[in-house]
Structure 1
């Protein structure tokens, strides 16, 4: 590069620095973390309740049918639960 080009480049750099100083600086707002939820909270609560009910039913079926040597479908009959309540209350 020639001396003339170096002087022009130096002037250009100085003018760019001056422009940066002259511009009012925007105050940097604190960045907020935005979380995009895949499932809304109400749906999560509903799913937890459904999973709890399903696990309760499955556990009762396994307990009554496999461990207790009964028919797993009998767990959903009212007579089975009435019999269990009678045993517990000793009627």
Structure 2
């Protein structure tokens, strides 16, 4: 007889997706902070403020 062997996952699929989503958010946030402080020569955590994003949008749109 051909029996299928079932593998028990150590980490469930939904937990893997949450881990990937969390790592994506952490890497994006750290990239924004490092990029704004090194390339933009601004204060790193300033990029997390809403006013900064409004100024960037106005600068890009020419308004």
Give the greater-gyration-radius structure (CA): 1
TM-score (norm 2): 0.91
Deviation of 1:67 (Å): 1.6
Q: Secondary structure at the match of 2:38?
A: helix
Deviation of 1:88 (Å): 1.1
User: Which of 45, 48, 55 in structure 2 is aligned with 1:76?
Assistant: 48
Structure 2 residue 58 is the aligned partner of structure 1 residue 66:
no
Structure 2 residue 46 is the aligned partner of structure 1 residue 50:
no
Deviation of 1:36 (Å): 1.5
Q: Which runs of 4+ in 1 moved over 2 A?
A: none
Deviation of 1:31 (Å): 2.5
TM-score (norm 1): 0.65
Structure 2 residue 53 is the aligned partner of structure 1 residue 87:
no
Match of 1:9 in 2: none
Aligned-residue Cα RMSD (Å) equals 0.9
Match of 1:39 in 2: 11
